[in-house]
Structure 1
């Protein structure tokens, strides 16, 4: 087996650039389309195989340690059965059609941004300007990947096809295969002068602002899709999509159940007995509320149309206020006397067991759910 370094005419400590330069020179000289002789064809195969091994760091390391197989691999100079069938069916799949070069323009990746919003923003929806750190089109080359004033040039190895043909010996005879060109990486062109700003990628990382209208009725975990607002693709390719994941912050006063908003109203014992009119601050402004005489802890007062606008619809939910009657814990002598006199006059029964309840908060929860 010929030594790969000798085949390429380089020293064993040659750099990757020296190896690539040697391969390109020999490939131009020995390519079957340029030099159709049998001897040149055989050398071209050796040169290509040598470059395939030495251009890959891991394969080169194994080769330097004596682990490389002869050209074609396996016993007798033929590849294993997997290689034979891959070669055969790969060639057959070509069917005589010329392989097309890869495009440098590719679709960009999707991006995900998490946004935290207040419960009051869920009632009507909110407009947000969101800062996104992502890939954007390079202003210098506008996605061409080249320095301004320059352009890609046709690869002189594959002649712009992006692929080279190789003849491989197998149990089925000589099989011609088409493989991506190692010089241009299958693009069919090379970039002699890559853009210095984006390093020949056609895009750079940058922070940009995306405006989004978050609709009413969203809830934690919901994702909104903004088509075409994600990362720009390599080579100035089309943008991916941007996904906005919503998280609704905890509110100390209000909570949500479906499209309804829940709250707890503390009522003094005199107001619970006599009734009262009050004004409370809902999420979208003040609301007048009537407390009827004799209201009990756990009763629910419903204010229609003061809840959340549903995600798909226009009929708002309700504001449901659970009553919590507050019993005074500190009384002066006069107040205590008044309460004792009240107790005598009403002849209220003493404490006694009643129907079992799960407690005040369970009662409130059940009433909220059942209306």
Structure 2
């Protein structure tokens, strides 16, 4: 199946600013978040991932330029070619001077939702055959009142005038040009002038959520199952974290497990053994 045009996916023009792209992605992330589309979960997850992929490509100046020139074909092998995903000379020095001078550089990953870990006790039979169960997870979820934007319903965050929506500004330190988190918007790129009263402008609220978890057959104690997008909601519609379910098998009254083998200790008499 051919990939859709990334600009069409986000519903923006080809000359859209970073602030426009962020705003469009935030709207789609809220609309197709898996937690809000349990009845059409598969379709929602597909559209959510599609929007995330478009956002990541168009928010990076290198990949966006390459995409504008060559389309999807121009992105094949791009991440591993050394042009993207690695720390350059300026990034390395920026990190060093960030520690020294407190520049406080912030990547977009820091705005993403936190990963969560949940320990699940299961029976030996469930571990052997696999099962589906439900767990209650306390976590941060998008605020329903503002759809996760943090702004009062009917309003939208405005583009930060200090950083122009980039979330970062450049400063001069000892002759070096360094990049730091915008002190005005704290890296968000937008300013909320009319905050939502339900979440105090945070875009997230604490809620205990019941989630379905699939336990595959043959799982062992200590094994973790990753559930993408089931962690805490990201700020202002950014990517949610993942939920890691660590399994712990309860001791069995009769059987004992050793790897893929099951042992049963049966007491017998000397006569039977002979």
Question: Which bracket does the TM-score occupy, shorter chain normalised?
Answer: 0.5 to 0.7
* 1:208 equivalenced with 2:185 (yes/no): no
- How far is the alpha carbon of 1:243 from its aligned partner? 0.8
Partner residue in 1 for 2:272: 295
Is the Cα–Cα contact under 8 Å of residues 111 and 243 in structure 1 kept in the other structure?
yes
Alignment of 1:138-217 (within 5 A): 138-157=143-162, 160=165, 162=167, 180-217=181-218
Is the Cα–Cα contact under 8 Å of residues 203 and 236 in structure 1 kept in the other structure?
no
Q: 2:224 and 2:126 mapped to 1: Cα distance?
A: 16
- How far is the alpha carbon of 1:233 from its aligned partner? 0.7
Alignment of 1:103-142 (within 5 A): 106-142=111-147
- How far is the alpha carbon of 1:179 from its aligned partner? 5.7
- SS class of match (1:133): strand
Is the Cα–Cα contact under 8 Å of residues 105 and 235 in structure 1 kept in the other structure?
no
Partner residue in 2 for 1:60: none
Alignment of 1:191-270 (within 5 A): 191-267=192-268
CA RMSD, Structure 1 to Structure 2 (Å): 3.4
- SS class of match (1:213): strand
- How far is the alpha carbon of 1:251 from its aligned partner? 1.7
**Does the C-alpha gap of structure 1 residues 155 and 232 become closer, same or farther in structure 2, counting only changes over 3 Å?**
closer
- How far is the alpha carbon of 1:145 from its aligned partner? 1.1
Gaps of 5+ in 2: 1-89, 95-105
With CA pairs under 8 Å and 6+ residues apart, which has the higher RCO, 1 or 2? Answer: 2
- How far is the alpha carbon of 1:222 from its aligned partner? 1.0
- How far is the alpha carbon of 1:117 from its aligned partner? 0.8
Q: 2:251 and 2:179 mapped to 1: Cα distance?
A: 61
Gaps of 5+ in 1: 1-85, 91-100, 273-293, 298-371
**Does the C-alpha gap of structure 1 residues 109 and 160 become closer, same or farther in structure 2, counting only changes over 3 Å?**
closer
- How far is the alpha carbon of 1:295 from its aligned partner? 2.2
Kindly provide the CA deviation profile for residues 236-279 of structure 1, in whole angstroms up to 9, marking residues without a partner as x: 21221111101111122221123332223345x6xx8xxxxxxx
Is the Cα–Cα contact under 8 Å of residues 135 and 206 in structure 1 kept in the other structure?
yes
**Does the C-alpha gap of structure 1 residues 188 and 220 become closer, same or farther in structure 2, counting only changes over 3 Å?**
closer
- SS class of match (1:265): coil
- How far is the alpha carbon of 1:183 from its aligned partner? 2.9
**Does the C-alpha gap of structure 1 residues 296 and 239 become closer, same or farther in structure 2, counting only changes over 3 Å?**
same
- SS class of match (1:195): coil
**Does the C-alpha gap of structure 1 residues 236 and 217 become closer, same or farther in structure 2, counting only changes over 3 Å?**
same
Q: 2:128 and 2:182 mapped to 1: Cα distance?
A: 59
Number of aligned residues = 172
Compare the two structures and name the one with the higher helix fraction: 2
Is the Cα–Cα contact under 8 Å of residues 104 and 187 in structure 1 kept in the other structure?
no
Q: 1:114 and 1:203 mapped to 2: Cα distance?
A: 24
Q: 1:210 and 1:158 mapped to 2: Cα distance?
A: 39
Q: 2:222 and 2:115 mapped to 1: Cα distance?
A: 18
**Does the C-alpha gap of structure 1 residues 103 and 222 become closer, same or farther in structure 2, counting only changes over 3 Å?**
closer
**Does the C-alpha gap of structure 1 residues 160 and 130 become closer, same or farther in structure 2, counting only changes over 3 Å?**
closer
